[in-house]
Amino acid sequence: MLIVEDLSTRKRTWQKSTAGGNYNFRPGQVIMKFGEQLRTSIVKEYEWYYIAYNELKDQLKTEWEVRPSKAHPKGKRRKWNEDDEAKFLERLEQELEKVYTKQKVKAIDISRRIESADKEVSDVLSRMANRGPPGSATANDAPSEEEFFLLEEDLETIIADVYDLANFVRLNYTGFQKIVKKHDVSCLPAIPCSN
């Protein structure tokens, strides 16, 4: 599966290969592999908390037994063993814990900010409903335009943070799916199943 960006609309979509492993691309489309998609989609706040996809992918490759040459263009790598498996699983769990911890901390922060904004909105709406006629003592307690502007700004920031968190979770989820699939395809046949 590859990520395809339509240059005219700037819309990115996933495209599966057709039967036989071929892809159909129209002119004006840019194709990205997942590692490139991940690299170009990083939100600055989350920069150090994304899955280390390329490092995990590199860890799936064992050392060369026979380096690629003219005689052996593909070369031959050492078979994947139980020690490789243990190291890979340990690193995968570390990455999962890193991503999960950042997601959890950010979700708690956003929830706290939503609760605070809810209280502020309720307060402003209550003051708006209880304001009296112009010139009365309660008219001076009515919310100002600046208060509405600040509330709107707070809510926009919260919405943007929720959007960024959702993208962070989605990209990492896809990254973990892809790296596990690469692992299963390239490494598992080398390890005998124990019953």
The 10 Å Cβ neighbour count of residue 81 is 12
pLDDT at 77: 86
3-state secondary structure of 31: strand
pLDDT at 194: 47
9-48 pLDDT per residue, tens: 777 776 665 555 666 666 666 566 888 888 888 899 999 9
pLDDT at 68: 86
pLDDT band at 193, cuts 50/70/90? very low
Domain boundaries, the chain: 1-32, 42-188
pLDDT at 185: 86
Q: Which are the contacts of 59, defined by CB distance < 8 A and separation ≥ 6?
A: 87, 88, 91
Q: What is the mean pLDDT of residues 91-113?
A: 97
pLDDT at 83: 93
Distance of CA 137 to the CA centre of its chain: 52
- Of 189, 177, 192, 193, which is closest to residue 56 (Cα–Cα)? 177
pLDDT at 32: 67
**Cα–Cα distances in Å, from 110 out to 103, 107, 116, 154?**
10, 5, 10, 11
Distance in angstroms (rounded) separating the CA atoms of residues 40 and 3: 12
138-170 pLDDT per residue, tens: 556 777 889 889 999 999 999 999 999 999 999
40-95 pLDDT per residue, tens: 888 999 999 999 999 999 999 888 888 888 888 888 888 899 999 999 999 999 99
pLDDT at 195: 40
pLDDT band at 102, cuts 50/70/90? very high
CATH for 42-188 (1.10.357, 3.40.720, 1.20.58, 1.10.287): 1.20.58
Residue 62 buriedness (CB in 10 A; 0-12 / 13-18 / 19+): middle
pLDDT at 118: 94
Considering the chain, what is the average pLDDT of its residues?
84
